[in-house]
Amino acid sequence: MLTKGLNIGENGHLFIENCDTVELAKEYGTPLYVMNESLIRDNCKRYKNFFADNFSSLSFPCYASKALSCLEIYRIMKEEGMGVDVVSGGELYTALNAGFPAEKIFFHGNNKTEQELRMAIKYGVGRIIVDNLTELEVLNDIASEMNANVNIGFRIKPGIDAHTHDYIRTGQIDSKFGFALENGEAKEAVKKALGYSNVSLCQVHCHIGSQIFDTEPFSDAVKVMLGFIAEINSEFDFLIKELNLGGGLGAKYTDADSPLEIEDYLAPVAKTFHETCSKLNIPEPSFHIEPGRSIVGESGTTLYTIGNVKEIKGVRTYVSVDGGMCDNIRYALYKAEYTVLNASKSQGEVLKNVTIAGKCCESGDLLKEGTDLIEPKRGDVLAVLTTGAYNYSMASNYNRILRPAIVMVKNGRSRVVVQRESYADLLNNDI
Ligand code: LLP
C-alpha cells in the first residue's frame, strides 16, 4: 500500500514527491520525518474550497495543531488561510511566533492554567473554548481584572461516541472534556455566561473522536448541536452564532483503512447542517471544524536505518531501527497499525516476516509485529508510512535519544523545517 505522493522509482527506492528517500536519509540522517508539503497544502485547499462553496463567509476550517506543531506548519496554515486550534500555552506560543493571526486561533483544553488563560487574553486569541464551570468563572475574573472582554465557546459532550462500532447517542457523560447535555450542565453554563460581564458566548463546540471513517456520527452530532442552539435560542432568546464540529476524519494507515475523501465526508455534514437549520427555523450559524490527522497524517513518512537483524529460530526475527517509541509511541500506546516498507529495495527480493523494533530499553518498544518486508539488511532504509500526525508531536527524549529532524518535500526539493536535536540540546535545561 502506498499513500498519496509516494511511488517506487526505477532504482527500486521509495520516492516521496519525486525525492528519493534513500538520498534523503543520506543527506539528512535518520530517523527522519519527511513531510509532503504539497499534500498538506492540497488538503487545506480542499477543506477551504468546500467551505467557500457550502458555508457562510464567516465559516472557516481550523487545523488541529496537536497533530503536528512546529513553526513551519503554522506558517503554512496561515498561507493557506486556515484557522488553528491550540491546546496549550506551548502550541499558542509557537503559533504566535510563526506570525499566525491570533484572531484565527481557538484555544482548547480541559484544564488551562491561569497563566495560559492570561496569555490567551493578552494576545487576543479568537476564541477560548471553555470546558467547565470553574474555568468559566476563573476566566471571567481574569478577564475583568485585565479589563478585557473575551469571546468564548463551550465544549459540549453531544452524547455521541464514534469510537464504538455501533455508536451510541447518550450516556457519554463519563469524559473529562466539556459540558454534558443530558444533565442540564451545558444549559447551566450558558445561563452563567450570559450573566457574566467579561465573556461573550459565541460558539458551541464538540469533538466526537478521532480516526473516524463514517459520516453518520458527524451528521448526528450536527443535529444534536443545532438542537441545543435552537433550545438556547427559544429559552434565553439568545442566538449562539457559531458551531464547531471538532476534528476526527480518519487517515489511511494500512489497507484495512478506508478513509473518506474530504469532500465525501463534508457533503452529508453540510446537507444535514442546512436541512436542520431550516427545520429548526434558526439562522445558520457560521461553521467550523478542526481536522488534524486528515491534513497531516498521510503527508508524513518516517525514515529509519536498519541496524541489527536478530533471527530467533522458531520464534521471530527482530529488525531493529535507529528510532522507535521515542519518535512514534503509537504502537506502544495504542497498538496502532502502520505500513512499513524497505525503502532501499522495493522489488524482486525475498520477503521475510519480521517484527520492527526500536532502540529504547523497553521490550514494548516495537513499531510493527509480524510484517512482510523485502529482505532487510543492515544499512537499508526502512519507511513507516502515515506518520505525519501524532508522531513528532508525541515524541520524547526517553533514553536521551535525540528527536529527529523534519524535512518538507515538494516537487522534488527538500528543506529542513525542524532541526535534529543535538546532544547539547539535551543539556539545555539541566543545571
Ligand atoms: N479538535 C479537538 C478538540 C480535539 O480534541 C482533536 C483531537 C482534534 C480537533 C483533532 O482530531 P483529528 O482530526 O486529528 O482526529 N494521540 C491520538 C489522537 C488524539 C486526538 C485528540 N484530539 C492518536 O495518536 O491517535
pLDDT (tens digit, 9 = 90+) per residue, 320-354?
999 999 999 999 999 999 999 999 997 766 789 99
Does one domain contain both 135 and 191?
Answer: yes
Instruction: Name the nearest CA neighbour of 44 among 8, 13, 14, 68.
Output: 68
Q: Is the pLDDT of residue 170 over 50?
A: no
- Flag whether 280 is in a domain: yes
Does one domain contain both 385 and 311?
Answer: yes
Does one domain contain both 151 and 209?
Answer: yes
263's CB contacts (< 8 A; 6+ apart) are 46, 50
pLDDT, residue 346, reads: 76
Residue ranges of E strands in 278-343: 286-289, 300-312, 316-321, 340-342
Closest atom of ligand 1 relative to the 155 alpha carbon: 3
Q: Whose CA is nearest to atom 6 of ligand 1?
A: 247
Domain boundary among 295, 318, 351: 295
CA 229, CA 184: separation in Å to the nearest integer?
A: 14
Instruction: Name the nearest CA neighbour of 177 among 135, 216, 217.
Output: 135
| Average pLDDT score, the chain | 95
- Flag whether 49 is in a domain: no
Q: Write out pLDDT tens, residues 174-208.
A: 888 999 998 999 999 999 999 999 999 999 999 99
Q: Is the pLDDT of residue 164 over 70?
A: no
Q: Is the pLDDT of residue 126 over 50?
A: yes
- Flag whether 45 is in a domain: no
Domain boundary among 244, 260, 295: 295
381: domain CATH number is 2.40.37.10
Does one domain contain both 12 and 114?
Answer: no
The phi-psi region of residue 186 (left if phi > 0; otherwise alpha if psi is between -120 and 50; otherwise beta) is alpha
Does one domain contain both 385 and 241?
Answer: no
The phi-psi region of residue 320 (left if phi > 0; otherwise alpha if psi is between -120 and 50; otherwise beta) is beta
Q: Name the domain count of the chain.
A: 2
- Flag whether 1 is in a domain: no
For the question of residue 206 being annotated catalytic, the response is no
Does one domain contain both 203 and 98?
Answer: yes
Q: Find the 128 Cα to ligand 1 centroid distance in Å.
A: 17
Q: Whose CA is nearest to atom 2 of ligand 1?
A: 246
Q: Is the pLDDT of residue 378 over 70?
A: yes
Instruction: Name the nearest CA neighbour of 297 among 8, 102, 30, 36.
Output: 36
pLDDT more than 70, % of the chain: 97
260: which 3 cell numbers? 473518506
Does one domain contain both 403 and 273?
Answer: no
Does one domain contain both 284 and 176?
Answer: yes
pLDDT, residue 176, reads: 87
Q: Is the pLDDT of residue 167 over 70?
A: no
Q: Find the 208 Cα to ligand 1 centroid distance in Å.
A: 9
Q: Find the 138 Cα to ligand 1 centroid distance in Å.
A: 26
Ligand 1 binding pocket (C-beta < 6 A) is: 64, 66-67, 85, 108, 207, 210, 246-249, 290-294, 330, 389-390
278: domain CATH number is 3.20.20.10
Does one domain contain both 107 and 202?
Answer: yes
Q: Is the pLDDT of residue 53 over 50?
A: yes
CA 236, CA 46: separation in Å to the nearest integer?
A: 37
- Flag whether 176 is in a domain: yes
Domain boundary among 266, 295, 324: 295
319: which 3 cell numbers? 529488525
244's CB contacts (< 8 A; 6+ apart) are 62, 106, 129, 153, 203, 204, 205, 206, 287, 288, 289, 290
Does one domain contain both 68 and 194?
Answer: yes
Give this prediction's pTM. Answer: 0.97
Q: Find the 292 Cα to ligand 1 centroid distance in Å.
A: 7
Does one domain contain both 17 and 67?
Answer: no
Q: Whose CA is nearest to atom 9 of ligand 1?
A: 247
Does one domain contain both 79 and 193?
Answer: yes
Residue numbers of the domain that contains 289: 61-295
